Structure 1
Amino acid sequence: MRRAAVGNGAAAHLHFPPRHSAPSASQTEPARLDDPPASESDASATIDERPTSQLPRPVTPLHAVPVTPSAPNGRAVQQADANDVERMANDAELKTFHTFRTFDYSVSLLFYPKELKYYVALFEDDRMWRVLTTSDMNTAKQLFHHMQEQATRLADGETRRLQLEAQNEQLKRLITEAEAHAERLRQGLQRTTEQDQAVTGRQHQLRKDLAQLEAQRTAAQAQLNKAHRQVHQLNVANNEAIPHIPR
């Protein structure tokens, strides 16, 4: 039986079966029954004798760390000062690699040879709006494509407005042409109607005149026939007054 120290400093009696082999040097000597109880210092020493891997690790205090934007591949990306970039552009310190423009939005990939930095700037109405900087060319290209998509989305409304304005102007032209065509057709129909009415009136007057002329012809023919009869009768009367001379 041996005593072992526990966390509260008290000693506990443990019973072990007898062993025939000799204990190793690392083993603790058997405790005697008349040994005094283990003190707290002894207990602490006993606990500290555990393997290092089982001891609790010290806790490292947390400190605030500034967060730097990064590209999808992990390369550092930072927000740049638009005023500084505009100044460098005005001083001809930047080289333009790529430029994309859609309506009032544009994106430029700029290179600063002095510090081997790349700037990707988004412009609105030719005014620098957002600028990101990186030291990696591939990251700069990714940023350029990202801002290109952003500019395209921002210009979608402008694209739709331009299309609607063009469609409205086309509809106005078609309406004007259709109204002008309708007016020409209406005028043509009116002219045709007026001509139809004129022809109808003329035909009616013509039939009336023909009927009147026919009546006049009939009356004249009857008068002529009467005159012919009178002439015949007078001729007969005159012939009867002439003496008959035999041959």
Structure 2
Amino acid sequence: MDYKWRVRQVALAALLLIGGVETGCAQPLPDSAAANAAAQAGSVAAQDSGAAVQQAQSASAAQPLPGTPTALTPAEAQQSAAGNVAELQQMIRGSELNELRTTYNGTYGASLLFYGKEMTYYVALFQNKTFWRVIKTSDETRAELIYRDFVQKTLQLSDVEIRRTRLDAQKAFTTRMIALTQDHANRLQADLQVAQQQQAIVADQQKQTRDQANALQAEKAAAQDQLRAVQRQVRDLQRQVEGGLPVH
């Protein structure tokens, strides 16, 4: 409204000067003076229009687009550097601070806290329950935007940590499986050695048994031959003893 009023005032002054020249009610102005007045009016109007466009652009830039990171205002950055972390740590020991939202990703987290007595919001980014950054604001919408931005940061920060945790677990699992598999292989190897040793023992026993059986078979055959020879001898002696005796 102010710049429009200024434009109108300058334009009215220019018209009055030009009108004075035409009607002769005032001292005539040279053409250069009239041109300068008109140019001044146009310049002021252009400057005011440019200021209005700049103000509109600044106002639109102040509203964050959906899904874009929320940049801290200079006042919020100054507050954060002025000791909001210590202030929140002191307040958290009491019972008047309400925890509205908290998100954990790995060891990182973001919290939105509310101090009802002063209608103030604290947005905190932390790791291992140690505050890293704290923003203090009385604007609820702003607090929600910063909280979502901090949650997104926890996702980014914890990505490599979560990946490391998974890889560490996979490595430990693989190491454990190697140990179990190696133990199984050792037991199978031990069983195989026992079986091989037992097989060697059995083979030796079988050989000894076969040799003994063969020896016994030979001894048996020799004994049978000896028995037959003795039986023949007995028969011969019997015939000699009974020689000349009547036969029944």
Compute the TM-score of the two structures, normalised by the length of structure 1: 0.69
Match of 2:80 in 1: 81
* Alpha-carbon offset, residue 81 of structure 1: 2.6
Work out whether 1:90 is the aligned partner of 2:82.
Answer: no
* Alpha-carbon offset, residue 241 of structure 1: 3.8
**Aligned to 2:100, what secondary structure does the other structure show?**
strand
Work out whether 1:57 is the aligned partner of 2:60.
Answer: no
**Aligned to 2:134, what secondary structure does the other structure show?**
strand
Aligned length: 206
Unaligned runs of 5+ in 1: 1-24, 30-39
Contact 2:21–2:29 (CA under 8 A) maintained in structure 1:
no
**Aligned to 2:114, what secondary structure does the other structure show?**
strand
Q: CA RMSD in A?
A: 3.8
Mapped to 2, the partners of 1:211 and 1:109 lie a distance apart of 97
Work out whether 1:72 is the aligned partner of 2:69.
Answer: no
* 1:27-38 to 2 correspondences below 5 Å: none
* 1:89-128 to 2 correspondences below 5 Å: 89-91=89-91, 92=94, 94-128=97-131
Between the two proteins, what is the percent identity of the paired residues? 30
Flag the structure with higher helix content: 2
Identify the range of structure 1 (166-175 vs 94-103) with the bigger mean alpha-carbon deviation. 94-103
Mapped to 2, the partners of 1:233 and 1:197 lie a distance apart of 53
**Aligned to 2:113, what secondary structure does the other structure show?**
strand
Match of 1:182 in 2: 185
Contact 1:112–1:118 (CA under 8 A) maintained in structure 2:
yes
Identify the range of structure 1 (191-200 vs 103-112) with the bigger mean alpha-carbon deviation. 103-112
Partner residue of 2:212 out of 209, 221, 230: 209
Identify the range of structure 1 (170-179 vs 202-211) with the bigger mean alpha-carbon deviation. 170-179
Distance 1:51 1:188, change over 3 A: closer
Deviations 1:151-203 (A, max 9, x none): 12211222112212211221122111111111111111111111111111111
Match of 1:145 in 2: 148
**Aligned to 1:129, what secondary structure does the other structure show?**
strand
Unaligned runs of 5+ in 2: 1-18, 52-57
Contact 2:85–2:132 (CA under 8 A) maintained in structure 1:
no
Compute the TM-score of the two structures, normalised by the length of structure 2: 0.68
Match of 1:47 in 2: 35
**Aligned to 2:44, what secondary structure does the other structure show?**
coil
